[in-house]
A = this chain, B = another copy of it.
């Protein structure tokens, strides 16, 4: 488990990923909002991965991982367990590569999510709603099919792929004082750190984590991976624990992890919807939540924010839940 023995992605891996996935992904826009700038007192640049294919940055890492496999590896397909954006990302990119995807999903996944994955032609295998059930079912699928497992975040090529988001952001916006990303399993955060620490070392990277799922925050304090147990937050994309790879990268490079209340997440989400007229999910809006809470003074700074995705249940918006 010693970090020194783990091979971590470098900026060259991120650049290589950018070339590999260029023709498959969207180059997403960076948007600004005069009224949000006024409210928070800084210049905020929103990198809109909610406009990415499948509606989330996850498509970058999945595509880099799937397209990095050799022809003989890819023939038996790819597999993963996920009830969220990574499932759709693997399903779509496998289809693009012309291979099969096996997606292990908890039996209590919403119909919409299952249909979306099936819509991309993937085979869905249901399992019980525990992490243990997911992993054992995945093991069975892999040993039966010979498919290659692509972990949602603790995977070298996935992290390199996620790092391309910050690469584009830094190309489009110069002299950022800070970049804020959400942190769940740490794929986006560690990819962003890989890119930013190499290209713009004076830019400080802050991660936003829900108060009710603050395992990454505690992991940094305790200098070990603290598992996420019974996370309680509206940010349904940020339930997961850090992985060995993501923890190493974050530990080395992070400026701060800041926790945010669900109230602030919802307020930030609504602000983005109302002022920017774009749809983001709670796990994205948490980044702006930091600027609303003022736990750290970022006034008058130039701040890049990665809006990680826009997949929400339009029947059940968080400000409607009582």
Q: Please list the residues of chain A having a beta carbon within 8 angstroms of any beta carbon in chain B.
A: 29, 50-51, 55, 270, 273-274, 276-280, 310, 314-315, 317, 319-320
Contacts known (A270-B314, A314-B270); A50 close to B277, Cβ less than 8 A: yes
Could you say how many copies of this chain the assembly holds?
Answer: 2
Contacts known (A273-B279, A277-B278); A314 close to B314, Cβ less than 8 A: no
Q: Please, how many angstroms separate the alpha-carbon atoms of A320 and B319 in the complex?
A: 14
Contacts known (A273-B279, A277-B279, A279-B278); A314 close to B315, Cβ less than 8 A: no
Q: Please, how many angstroms separate the alpha-carbon atoms of A280 and B279 in the complex?
A: 10
- Chain B residues whose C-beta falls within 8 Å of the C-beta of A317 in the assembled complex: 314, 317
Q: Please, how many angstroms separate the alpha-carbon atoms of A280 and B276 in the complex?
A: 11
B55 to A273, Cβ gap below 8 A? no
- Chain B residues whose C-beta falls within 8 Å of the C-beta of A270 in the assembled complex: 314
- Chain B residues whose C-beta falls within 8 Å of the C-beta of A314 in the assembled complex: 270, 273-274, 317, 319
Q: Please, how many angstroms separate the alpha-carbon atoms of A55 and B280 in the complex?
A: 17
A319 to B315, Cβ gap below 8 A? yes
Q: Please, how many angstroms separate the alpha-carbon atoms of A278 and B270 in the complex?
A: 13
- Chain B residues whose C-beta falls within 8 Å of the C-beta of A50 in the assembled complex: 277
- Chain B residues whose C-beta falls within 8 Å of the C-beta of A29 in the assembled complex: 29
Residue of B nearest to A55 (CB): B277
Q: Please, how many angstroms separate the alpha-carbon atoms of A317 and B277 in the complex?
A: 14
- Chain B residues whose C-beta falls within 8 Å of the C-beta of A315 in the assembled complex: 319-320
Q: Please, how many angstroms separate the alpha-carbon atoms of A155 and B178 in the complex?
A: 47
A-B contact pairs, 13 of them (CB 8 A): A50-B277, A51-B276, A51-B277, A270-B314, A274-B314, A277-B278, A277-B279, A277-B280, A278-B278, A278-B279, A315-B319, A315-B320, A317-B317
- Chain B residues whose C-beta falls within 8 Å of the C-beta of A55 in the assembled complex: 277
Q: Please, how many angstroms separate the alpha-carbon atoms of A270 and B314 in the complex?
A: 8
Point out the residue from B274, B310, B319 that lies within 8 Å of A277, measured CB to CB: B310
- Chain B residues whose C-beta falls within 8 Å of the C-beta of A51 in the assembled complex: 276-277
Could you tell me the distance in whole angstroms from the C-beta of A288 to the nearest C-beta in chain B? Answer: 16
Q: Please, how many angstroms separate the alpha-carbon atoms of A29 and B55 in the complex?
A: 19
Could you tell me the distance in whole angstroms from the C-beta of A207 to the nearest C-beta in chain B? Answer: 23
Q: Please, how many angstroms separate the alpha-carbon atoms of A317 and B319 in the complex?
A: 12
Q: Please, how many angstroms separate the alpha-carbon atoms of A273 and B280 in the complex?
A: 10
Q: Please, how many angstroms separate the alpha-carbon atoms of A24 and B317 in the complex?
A: 34
The 3 closest A-B pairs by CB, nearest first: A277-B310, A277-B279, A50-B277
